């Protein structure tokens, strides 16, 4: 039983390895083609015919011409051009003894001529018809874009390729394929009309290439590909033969990046490791996950050799979260600055209040955990704690100028020095200014204050205002006078007294007159 064309193509594609498992022994015509001459069985009565797909061993490579001689077995020698044996980079790498796969394109005077397509060797009038009947790939050039597809020139004749049959994926810009040359299968052939397809050929090649890719993944063997497209989430890599894979942004390397286009461009050649191959249900393709990072050494394995706890380093802010900022100290090595480690003397509600992505900052390494791959960093530890020896700088009972930074329901927050604040209680403000305290203590007003108390551990300073003690004595005397004068008198509150207009003497006179 002779194999189908598709089965023969799969055998051809897989013949690139060193095995001699070429064409099945079921094909009587080619039973002895791959056998070594010293052990080859007797030649078969059948001989290869034009259009047959065969495998052969290279026996001679000419240094003066472009010809390569191959042995078909049965003492049959054939000729194939070096141009047909170039690899994906356009380089001839074959050696004597290598196995090649090709089609018989011509037999002249008993001499066999081979080619991987009709681009070489086959030039007679029946070439296209033979290629159609035998499903031999032919080379064609995209000559024009027309409604529903492309005009393709194949051996001097116009052929039509539907837009859905040119590539294995959607074509957004057909014009980019103009003047490019590809291999096609002839799907329909007549005197006046020729219809060709490239996607079917790609599909056949992809099915075979996918098997090779799975073997590479299981063996951990790196593969090469060409950058086809840059996406925000990663890089699409063309693996050849109709296969494409994605290098997710997290697999581009150990160093942080959120812009894949900064390091890679279309056309770049990359060596990657295959992480996963997931067949897509209902489709003859698969989702292929690739990685560049998997081929690099993990920088966390040597992190303790490069960084020490308690030392200071410079890094780049790469990401902000609600609880802090991540800083990259080296490619693949980043740590967290918690909100509480961002600044002295003030509460940071969000890291954007202090830093932004891209900033270069100095940090101190507080903790290193190489097992969990975590670094704890601090920005404020780089600077001297402003509360260090605070009791020597702000002595209880001393007066100083303070800038109001905020006014809260419980009082005014006053800045005494960078990173050092104190509290003026709301009761003190009302006592001193009455209902106008909001205006008197509004930021950025400056007031003369007195240090009432200092709590170093809690980082708290209580403030008061000058002359409040003397005013208290005067007010208390005034209240005592009213009590002695008339027991039924209504004693005004401090706020009422301090909020009234006029001097203390005027207030006293008005109150006495009122009592009379």
Please provide the DSSP assignment of 458-514 as one string.
TTEEEEE-TTHHHHHHHHHHHHHHHHHH-TTPPPPPHHHHHHSSS-HHHHHHHHHHH
Kindly state whether residues 23 and 112 are assigned to the same domain.
yes
Kindly state whether residues 14 and 110 are assigned to the same domain.
yes
Kindly state whether residues 117 and 14 are assigned to the same domain.
yes
Could you say which of 165, 197, 229 is where a domain stops? Answer: 197
Residue 44 lies in a domain: yes
Say which DSSP state 114 is in.
E
The reported pLDDT for the residue numbered 18 is 36
The strand pairing partners of 68, in sequence order, are: 61, 80
Kindly state whether residues 10 and 127 are assigned to the same domain.
yes
The reported pLDDT for the residue numbered 113 is 83
Could you say which of 351, 382, 413 is where a domain stops? Answer: 382
Rounded-to-integer distance, Cα 286 and Cα 277, Å: 6
Domain that holds residue 166: 138-197
Kindly state whether residues 44 and 61 are assigned to the same domain.
yes
The reported pLDDT for the residue numbered 490 is 52
Residue 259 lies in a domain: yes
Task: Please tell me the number of Cα atoms within 13 Å of 478 on its side-chain side.
Answer: 23
Rounded-to-integer distance, Cα 474 and Cα 465, Å: 16
The strand pairing partners of 138, in sequence order, are: 184
Per DSSP, the three-state class of 100 is: strand
Kindly state whether residues 316 and 402 are assigned to the same domain.
no
Residue 301 lies in a domain: no
Rounded-to-integer distance, Cα 336 and Cα 338, Å: 6
Per DSSP, the three-state class of 454 is: strand
The reported pLDDT for the residue numbered 218 is 87
The reported pLDDT for the residue numbered 21 is 34
Residue 416 lies in a domain: yes
Q: Biggest alpha carbon distance in the chain?
A: 146
Domains in the chain, number: 6
Residue 248 lies in a domain: yes
Asked whether the bond before 444 is cis by omega within 30 degrees of 0, the reply is: yes
What are residue 141's phi and psi, to 5 degrees? -115, 130
Rounded-to-integer distance, Cα 201 and Cα 182, Å: 10
Residues of the chain with pLDDT under 70: 1-46, 74, 117-126, 282-284, 345, 384-385, 469-516
Kindly state whether residues 453 and 377 are assigned to the same domain.
no
Rounded-to-integer distance, Cα 13 and Cα 34, Å: 15
Number of residues assigned to the chain: 516
Could you say which of 134, 156, 188 is where a domain stops? Answer: 134
Residue 302 lies in a domain: no
Rounded-to-integer distance, Cα 359 and Cα 342, Å: 14
The strand pairing partners of 401, in sequence order, are: 448
Contact 72, 112 (CB under 8 A): yes
Asked whether the bond before 374 is cis by omega within 30 degrees of 0, the reply is: no
Residue 300 lies in a domain: no
List C-alpha distances in Å: 152 to 178, 182, 372, 425: 10, 10, 59, 87
> Which residues, at least 6 apart from 273, have a Cβ–Cβ distance to it below 8 Å?
220, 222, 223, 290, 291, 292, 294, 295
Rounded-to-integer distance, Cα 27 and Cα 198, Å: 28
Kindly state whether residues 225 and 262 are assigned to the same domain.
yes
> For the domain that residue 146 is a member of, what is the CATH number?
2.40.50.140
Kindly state whether residues 9 and 117 are assigned to the same domain.
yes
Say which DSSP state 457 is in.
T
The reported pLDDT for the residue numbered 31 is 31
Q: Give the H or E element holding residue 330.
A: strand 324-330
Kindly state whether residues 421 and 502 are assigned to the same domain.
no
Kindly state whether residues 230 and 286 are assigned to the same domain.
yes
Kindly state whether residues 46 and 117 are assigned to the same domain.
yes
The mean pLDDT of the chain is 77
Rounded-to-integer distance, Cα 15 and Cα 21, Å: 7
Rounded-to-integer distance, Cα 208 and Cα 328, Å: 43
């Amino acid at each position: 039983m002779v194999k189908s064309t598709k089965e023969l193509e799969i055998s051809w594609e897989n013949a690139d390895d060193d095995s001699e498992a070429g064409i099945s022994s079921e094909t009587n015509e080619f039973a002895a083609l791959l056998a070594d001459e010293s052990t080859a069985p007797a030649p078969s009565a059948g001989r290869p015919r034009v259009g047959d797909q065969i495998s052969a061993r290279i026996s001679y490579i000419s240094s003066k011409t472009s010809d390569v001689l191959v042995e078909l077995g049965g003492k049959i020698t054939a000729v194939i051009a070096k141009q047909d044996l170039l690899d994906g980079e356009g380089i001839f790498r074959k050696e004597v003894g290598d196995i090649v796969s090709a089609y018989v394109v011509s037999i002249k005077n008993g001499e066999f001529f081979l080619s991987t397509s009709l681009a070489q060797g086959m030039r007679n009038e029946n070439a296209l018809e033979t290629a159609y009947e035998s499903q031999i790939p032919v080379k064609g050039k995209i000559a024009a874009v027309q409604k529903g597809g492309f005009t393709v020139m194949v051996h001097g004749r116009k052929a039509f390729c539907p837009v859905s049959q040119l590539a294995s994926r959607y074509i957004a810009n057909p014009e980019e394929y103009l003047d490019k040359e590809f291999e096609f299968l002839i799907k329909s052939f007549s005197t006046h009309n020729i219809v060709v397809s490239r996607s079917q050929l790609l599909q056949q090649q992809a099915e075979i290439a996918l098997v090779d890719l799975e073997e590479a993944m299981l063996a951990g063997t790196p593969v090469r590909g060409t950058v086809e497209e840059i996406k925000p989430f990663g890089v699409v890599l063309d693996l050849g033969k109709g296969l494409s894979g994605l290098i997710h942004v997290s697999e581009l390397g150990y160093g942080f990046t959120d812009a894949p286009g900064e390091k890679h461009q279309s056309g770049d050649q990359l060596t990657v490791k295959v992480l996963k191959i997931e067949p897509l249900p209902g489709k003859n393709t698969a989702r292929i996950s690739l990685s560049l990072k998997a081929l690099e050494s993990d920088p966390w394995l040597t992190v303790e050799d490069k960084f020490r706890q308690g030392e200071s380093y410079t890094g780049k802010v790469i990401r902000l979260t609600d609880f802090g900022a991540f800083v990259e100290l080296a490619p693949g090595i980043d740590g967290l600055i918690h909100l509480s480690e961002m600044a002295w003397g003030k509460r940071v509600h969000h890291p954007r209040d202090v830093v932004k992505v891209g900033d270069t900052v100095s940090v101190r390494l507080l903790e290193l955990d190489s097992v969990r791959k975590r670094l704890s960093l601090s920005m404020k530890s780089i600077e001297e704690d402003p509360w260090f020896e605070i009791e020597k700088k702000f002595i209880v009972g001393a007066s100083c100028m303070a800038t109001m930074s905020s006014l809260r329901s419980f009082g005014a927050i006053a800045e005494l020095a960078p990173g050092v604040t104190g509290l003026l209680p709301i009761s003190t403000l009302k006592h001193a200014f009455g209902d106008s305290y909001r205006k008197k203590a509004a930021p950025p007003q400056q007031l003369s204050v007195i240090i009432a108390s200092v709590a170093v551990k809690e980082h708290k300073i209580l403030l008061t205002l000058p002359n409040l003690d003397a005013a208290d004595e005067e007010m208390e005397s005034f209240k005592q006078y009213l009590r002695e004068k008339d027991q039924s008198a209504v004693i005004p509150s401090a706020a009422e007294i301090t909020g009234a207009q006029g001097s203390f003497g005027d207030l006293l006179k008005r109150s006495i007159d009122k009592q009379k």
